[in-house]
Structure 1
Amino acid sequence: MSLDKITSSNIWLRLVNSEYDNLEPNELETKFKSIYLEETGELFEGNVEIYHSSDSKDVSSLESGYDGTALRITEGSEEKLFVINQGTTNGVDWNENIKAAFAGQSVKQAEATRVFTEDAKQQLNISEDTEVVSLGHSLGNHNSTVTGIVDNTFDEIYGVNGLQMPPYELLDYDPAFFREVRKEFNVATRDQVYDIPLNELAEFTKEFYSDSPVEIHQLISTDDPLYAVTEKAGFVTFGDVEMIDTNPEVNGIKELIDDIPDDVIGSLRDLAIKYAAADNKGGLNEVVYQMLGVKMEYLKEIEGKADILGWYAFHQDQFDETMRALDKNLPPLADKIRLITQNADTIFGRLYEEGYISKEQKDIMIKELGNIDKDLTRILKTLKGNVTLNDDGLTVSLAGDAALLLVALELQKSLTASAKNIMDSGILESLESIKDSHSINELLNALSGGNKSYSGTDLIFTTTGAGGEPIEVNMSAALRLYREGALIFEDKMSAIAKLEKAVHEEIQLAFKEERKKVLDEIYNIESNPKGYAYSRGWMHRYPLYEVESLKVMENVYPLERADLDEQIYEMKSSVDSGYKLIEDYRKAVEDLFAEEERLSQMFDLVRGI
């Protein structure tokens, strides 16, 4: 069955990867058919209808940042609806990661996934017995799993390096699950759920949804950072999972994550929960207020040092209120941050041991995080002193305020220097390999083997040159070039044929027709002189005369400057040269990969896409 080939090969992975390119419907259809040909060696001759979430009013009204594409794919009697759920791409998505997965305070994108799927079924006229399949990466796989196991939105889910299921999010999404958790663990409020041991809550979650009819299939890299945090964060994995080592040169960061103390993980979770609750209540301004007690409206006009001094001089009451709030709220927040900075040796030491960063980068990170910790201690001490001095009178208060401003300016320089040293160390570039292990590309390359690999959404073939050096050919680009080149030359030949027809019909035939009209009229005049004379009124003007004969002195010149044979020949020759060029290119590629039996067929079939 041709539609089964979509999920039984790399087609679905490459299709999910293509979703990040935000292609127009006609471009995505062409991309799908190209991928199908490259992976199967066969031309897909069915139909594809596409509906995007940006066209759904129901999804737009949720303001969730969700991005998805539905494809109704049919061939013969087969029909399936594939819904591609895009993963994390921007700040909105990362915000959803924190609020939903790590804090359990948002279900917007999971809800949007369900709403879009239902809308797509209506828009594309999907019947109830048509199989609905979700394809997703990262957050996209996560969203489809939430609505899949709770709402039965999908019959099957295929995910790659997906963000696994946090019980906290399911508590908000599924009231039935929340009721059972309250019974099982004897908790009365939502906040008390955070006191349940993570491993116990995870086990209960898996058991509760064990009867879900949706079939879930996951491909996960052992080097994927999301996989690394799954167990430690208490996330739950559903379905059958195939683990793949996509970067054999390193051991992955799971062991590193496992070495991080539980209280550090707990601190990160607490920060995420506070952030999410505040953001849900009122966005960034509320986040700052809830965490630090600072009112952002006081700071909206402040951009530089002069603004700070002006604020202090003209809004002393706001300044004092802000300092007191920071003195009260910053210390507990700083304690949580310190748990992270004080474990810098463990975190960056393990990154060095696993080969992700150099020793120099490890030392810089430990040093600069230590400096940040000292700066944090200094500002807390100065804040405490400032508030105390403000309580002691105006003169002392002014001295305290001046000291605080000087420390703040010094800390700005210090923190800027630390940030610059970290950036200049190149550690962010070194850690790119961790991000790469979350990508679809690295997993595709681990699956492919042989002379096949992938770059972006394209298929790469590799062979060995005469000197032993590797020669890589972007086969997707080669097939695109051949297809698009052939189409261009076909269009040109069609235009030349139309020109030839126009020359023949509009010029040569028209000339012959007009010449015949003239000669016919001459014949009529000469064969019936009297009739012609009467028709012209000559006999009325000259009644004494009689017309015996008429002779027309014609001189019809031949058609000149309408012979375009030479120009048309040149145009055809140019097209023939173009055809020869792409055929030579095709032959060169086929010669490089003579062992690839399907390659010639792929070139033949690609013109049918």
Structure 2
Amino acid sequence: MSNGEILNSDILRARIAELEYGKNGAITAETVRRIYIEETGKEPPGEITIYRSDDLEAIKKIKKDGKDSGFDGSIIHFYNPEKGINQSYTITRGTEGSEDNGSGDALDPMYDLLGIYNGKIRDQYDHAVLFDQEVTKQINEKVAKDIEKRIKSGENIQKVDLEKSGIGHSLGGNLIQMLQIMTQSYRNVYAINDAPPSVYQLALIDPVFAAKIGHKFKIDPADHRQLYELNARDLQAFGEQYYKERGQNIQHLTAEEDLMYAATVVRGFLHLGADRTANMIDTYPETKGVREILKNLSDDDLRSLQLFIADYAPAYVEGGVDGFIGELTGYDQNFKNSIDGVKKEWDKFLSKGPEWTSFNMKMPVGAPRMAFVNVPIPVPKLPDGLVNSLKDLATGVENIKNKLTTLLTQLPALIGLAEKVTAGLRKDIVASLKEVQSHAKSILVDIGDSGLVVLKNLFTVKAINASDIQRLITNAIKVKNEMNAIFDKLKGIFDSIVNFIKDFDKAVEAHGVLHVASSLAAENGRRYEGNDMILFKGEGAERIEINLSSAVRVYQTGLDKYQEKSEILNQLRVMYQQEYLDDFENRKRRLMGSIHEMESNPRSYSYLLPGKDREVTSINVHEDIRPLSPIIANTFEEMFHHFQQEHKKGIELIGKIKTSIENLFSEEKAISAIFDLR
């Protein structure tokens, strides 16, 4: 067993990490045991206990209080004191699109963006620490009680200290590395297609490190803008040196095409532990991967991208592309509704005519010395419905004005990024961004001060010139038309990006932990789907694939069913023996006993004769007991023979599943053990 670890191979660790993504907590002792048998051909060397974060009372309370961070994880404990085994594996789950099997909020992407990349939240890390510490305490208490019980019963046994290891994929890879460098509680950590820790994340979580940054670079580390302004390479080098010793037991398993690995060219990521390139796998040899596209971007480009993501990613998580564009431009359904609302209220106001009110205006009177007096000026009074509608529309116009002003400052950098990333191959993306830029400038001209004028007058005397209201409505309609064009262009850009970077599709697939496991196992003729192992041989049209896990389930379930049938058949035989053969002999025995008793004691039956003075002196019974009808015996024996033959054929058929696969994949020495171990 390599390094004494039970989960001692990349494939084993990857397959078991994949179980974290199963519905309703797919990590069970049974699934861990089955995967271990499939990969090693042997029984796991210890008792398996699973601890899930959702079952921990402290985590339940956090969720009940409405403070769910999105953290999920499991701890697998292997225990066999006779063999000196007391090992646990903390498995932190990676990014999921949303919680609760798709019905909850998208908490993981938020943590990816705001926790890891920008260092603004730390809740998932805190909950991972809580989970690991609480379960470690439970395991130590359980083991201590077991050892004490064994010693009292006379066993010569010694306590074995708990040895902890960590496994994490994607976001989970980040969390497990953070746990190691902050707590030093694992002998080894295995990060699969991981999101590395970032200096920005650590500056938030580790106050000592933050103070070191402040002293080294003469900044306030609590000011994230100052952090972002630092030279990222210098900051990264400082962080890697600072955490070098703490991270020395971190191992990496990375696909070259992995999307997360491609993203690590973004500034501020720390590469700790073993050399990542020493354990990389090329899962798509025909492509260079997304990293080749991104690595030529400058630090300024990446900083702009980092800030842009931080500003708008939450809106994308919340509402997809429409939500992203709405946050980017200020244009959404509420704005469209407010135009209709103002038009409706304005038309109603014009048709009914205004009510009048007045306000005092100071007017000069007298000469040569000038004096001022208040003169009432009549003005039309606006109804509340119109006032509220005007306020909504004017506020929406000003919001769009502010958002587009910000966007125009960002577009030059985004256009530059697009030109570098697409390398001139998709000029339509760059052209569309420039058209967005042109539309934004046109909208700002259309808006002018129309929104401000209306808002100013609304908050003074609630009296506005009709021309100001009409100008606001006219400008808002122009904005709507221009914004529809921007919306279409931005959506078109998203579509173009999807069509352009086909490698990103492969990068997303390559990020999956099962894809990594399948790539590792491919040279041995194996791949994985869900929790199942697929054996294959041959290429092209001659390729043969067998779902070994499914075949083993069918084989073992079939054997179980035929074992049940065999037990039922045996029960039928016993019942036949008891209800027919034994019962016939028992009846016959009782009858012969009665006959013998009558012949031996004839006088005791004198009461059967009429009269008082008569006596039976002798009884002689001539019995003729026929044997049980052979029809009964033949019927049952034929039935039993039929059932036996059916049972035999069924067992042979089930056995062919095993022997056929063994013959087809004769080079797989462990197949027999996989079928037979339960």
1:227 aligns with 2:261: yes
Q: Please name the residue that 2:280 is paired with.
A: 244
1:378 to 425, 434, 439: 439
Amino acid at match of 2:15: R
Which blocks of at least 5 consecutive residues in structure 1 are unaligned? 351-361
Structure 1 residues 86, 458: CA separation in 2 closer, same or farther (over 3 Å shift)? same
Residues 292 and 326, structure 1, Cα contact 8 Å, conserved in 2: no
Residues 87 and 136, structure 1, Cα contact 8 Å, conserved in 2: yes
Structure 1 residues 452, 56: CA separation in 2 closer, same or farther (over 3 Å shift)? same
User: Bigger CA drift: 469-478 or 511-520?
Assistant: 511-520
Instruction: Trace 1:253-268 onto structure 2 (pairs within 5 A).
Output: 253-268=290-305
Determine which structure has more spread, i.e. the larger CA radius of gyration. Answer: 2
Question: Could you tell me how far apart the structure 2 residues matched to 1:218 and 1:95 are?
Answer: 24
1:30 aligns with 2:30: yes
1:67 to 60, 64, 72: 72
Structure 1 residues 525, 308: CA separation in 2 closer, same or farther (over 3 Å shift)? farther
Question: Could you tell me how far apart the structure 1 residues matched to 2:415 and 2:565 are?
Answer: 66
Question: Could you tell me how far apart the structure 1 residues matched to 2:25 and 2:585 are?
Answer: 50
Question: Could you tell me how far apart the structure 2 residues matched to 1:566 and 1:244 are?
Answer: 65
Structure 1 residues 275, 549: CA separation in 2 closer, same or farther (over 3 Å shift)? farther
Question: Could you tell me how far apart the structure 1 residues matched to 2:558 and 2:335 are?
Answer: 57
Structure 1 residues 145, 406: CA separation in 2 closer, same or farther (over 3 Å shift)? same
Question: Could you tell me how far apart the structure 1 residues matched to 2:605 and 2:69 are?
Answer: 87
Instruction: Give 1:239 deviation, angstroms.
Output: 0.9
Q: Please name the residue that 2:102 is paired with.
A: none
User: Bigger CA drift: 548-557 or 467-476?
Assistant: 548-557
1:388 to 439, 445, 449: 449
1:134 aligns with 2:135: no
Question: Could you tell me how far apart the structure 1 residues matched to 2:637 and 2:231 are?
Answer: 87
Report SS of the residue matched to 1:212.
coil
Q: Please name the residue that 2:211 is paired with.
A: 179
Question: Could you tell me how far apart the structure 1 residues matched to 2:214 and 2:334 are?
Answer: 48
Report SS of the residue matched to 1:13.
helix
Report SS of the residue matched to 2:409.
helix
Amino acid at match of 2:660: A
Q: Please name the residue that 2:418 is paired with.
A: 344
Amino acid at match of 2:398: R
Q: Please name the residue that 2:506 is paired with.
A: 433
Residues 244 and 446, structure 1, Cα contact 8 Å, conserved in 2: no
Q: Please name the residue that 2:405 is paired with.
A: 331
Question: Could you tell me how far apart the structure 1 residues matched to 2:221 and 2:503 are?
Answer: 44
Instruction: Give 1:231 deviation, angstroms.
Output: 3.5
1:571 aligns with 2:643: yes
1:158 to 184, 190, 200: 190
Question: Could you tell me how far apart the structure 2 residues matched to 1:153 and 1:283 are?
Answer: 39
Question: Could you tell me how far apart the structure 2 residues matched to 1:584 and 1:291 are?
Answer: 62
1:404 to 475, 479, 498: 479
Q: Deviations over 1:177-233 (max 9, x none)?
A: 222222222223512322222112212212222332772111122222222232432
Amino acid at match of 1:273: A
TM-score (norm 2): 0.74
Residues 82 and 132, structure 1, Cα contact 8 Å, conserved in 2: yes
Q: Deviations over 1:135-173 (max 9, x none)?
A: 111111110111211122423211111111111111222
User: Bigger CA drift: 406-415 or 251-260?
Assistant: 406-415
Structure 1 residues 553, 453: CA separation in 2 closer, same or farther (over 3 Å shift)? closer
Q: Please name the residue that 1:215 is paired with.
A: 249
TM-score (norm 1): 0.81
1:321 aligns with 2:395: yes
1:96 aligns with 2:111: yes
Residues 14 and 513, structure 2, Cα contact 8 Å, conserved in 1: yes
Instruction: Give 1:553 deviation, angstroms.
Output: 9.1
Instruction: Give 1:133 deviation, angstroms.
Output: 0.8
Structure 1 residues 508, 269: CA separation in 2 closer, same or farther (over 3 Å shift)? farther
Report SS of the residue matched to 1:48.
strand
Instruction: Give 1:107 deviation, angstroms.
Output: 1.6
User: Bigger CA drift: 543-552 or 167-176?
Assistant: 543-552
Q: Deviations over 1:42-97 (max 9, x none)?
A: 33353211122221122231512122121111342212011222211223222211
Q: Please name the residue that 2:44 is paired with.
A: 44
User: Bigger CA drift: 503-512 or 157-166?
Assistant: 503-512
Report SS of the residue matched to 1:10.
helix
Structure 1 residues 455, 293: CA separation in 2 closer, same or farther (over 3 Å shift)? closer
Q: Please name the residue that 1:586 is paired with.
A: 658
Amino acid at match of 1:171: A
Between the aligned residues of both structures, percent identity stands at: 21
Q: Deviations over 1:521-548 (max 9, x none)?
A: 56545654554677xxx79x96565555
Instruction: Give 1:418 deviation, angstroms.
Output: 6.2
Structural RMSD (CA) = 4.0
Question: Could you tell me how far apart the structure 2 residues matched to 1:477 and 1:276 are?
Answer: 41
1:83 to 77, 80, 90: 90
Residues 103 and 272, structure 1, Cα contact 8 Å, conserved in 2: no
Q: State the aligned residue count.
A: 577
Q: Deviations over 1:308-352 (max 9, x none)?
A: 6247645221121122122123321453355334432332338xx
Residues 443 and 479, structure 2, Cα contact 8 Å, conserved in 1: yes
Residues 446 and 478, structure 2, Cα contact 8 Å, conserved in 1: no
Q: Please name the residue that 2:120 is paired with.
A: 105
Amino acid at match of 2:120: Q
Amino acid at match of 2:664: L
Report SS of the residue matched to 1:113.
helix
Amino acid at match of 1:347: V
